[in-house]
Amino acid sequence: MFKQLNVAARMLLVLSLLTGVLYPLLVTVLAQLCFHSQANGSLIVEGEVLRGSQLVGQFFDDSKFFWGRLSATTPPYNASASSGSNLGPTNPELSRILKERIDRLRALPGGDAPIPVDLVTASASGLDPDISPAAARFQIARVAAARGLPPERVHALVEQHVEGRCLGFLGEPRVNVLELNRALVR
């Protein structure tokens, strides 16, 4: 019996060292060497000012900026409270919230166009940094009017920021809202 306990204790020690120290160390070193930006949060830094991350959405509510996907966290885009609303499709509260959001978008310049679903629904994480190209295009009239810019110029900026599918077939085309808004300011 002591022989089996001795073997078990040694295996525990060896596996703890392998999986708890060596493997995480190896993965960390490889990530820093091969994917330095991503391993450090894909941070966007201008000069010495941290503007955000390409991976976590930010809250924009000014009409002069493109709005990201809605966040169910409180406050919006709170990374420490990542979650969805947990309102199911048959919940009357969800229907009421969606109607309010749709009415708000209909009242804006360009609001007569079909409203993309990602402008009225929140994501599961509440932290999405991207919107669909359709959601960005829907907002062109509002942003152009608020900034006093020709819609064609804002449209060209949106098209420059449409990212295709990963590897040409994974996911959907998307627009990073923070990057688009940074370009808009420039």
Lowest mean pLDDT among 17-31, 91-105, 149-163: 91-105
Residue 140: the pLDDT is 95
Tally of structural domains, the chain: 2
Q: Please report whether residue 97 resides in a domain.
A: yes
pLDDT of 110 above 80:
yes
Q: Please report whether residue 105 resides in a domain.
A: yes
Question: 94: domain range?
Answer: 51-185
Residue 51: the pLDDT is 82
Q: Please report whether residue 128 resides in a domain.
A: yes
- Global pTM value: 0.77
Residue 38: the pLDDT is 85
Q: Please report whether residue 45 resides in a domain.
A: no
pLDDT of 85 above 90:
no
| pLDDT tens for each residue of 129-164 | 899 999 999 999 999 999 999 999 999 999 999 999
Same domain, yes or no, for 61 and 17?
Answer: no
| pLDDT tens for each residue of 39-80 | 888 888 888 888 888 888 888 888 899 998 887 777 777 777
Same domain, yes or no, for 123 and 181?
Answer: yes
Q: What is the separation of C-alpha 180 from the centre of its chain, rounded to a whole number of angstroms?
A: 13
Three-state SS for the chain is: CHHHHHHHHHHHHHHHHHHHHHHHHHHHHHHHHHCHHHHCCCEEEECCEEEEECCCCCCCCCCCCCCCCECCCCCCCCHHHCCCCCCCCCCHHHHHHHHHHHHHHHCCCCCCCCCCHHHCCECCCCCCCEECHHHHHHCHHHHHHHHCCCHHHHHHHHHHCEECCECCCECCCEEEHHHHHHHHHC
What's the chain's average pLDDT? 88
Could you give the percent of the chain with pLDDT greater than 90?
50
Same domain, yes or no, for 93 and 150?
Answer: yes
Residue 76: the pLDDT is 73
**Do 123 and 117 form a contact (C-beta atoms < 8 A)?**
no
Q: How far apart are CA 110 and CA 67, in angstroms?
A: 14
pLDDT of 91 above 90:
no
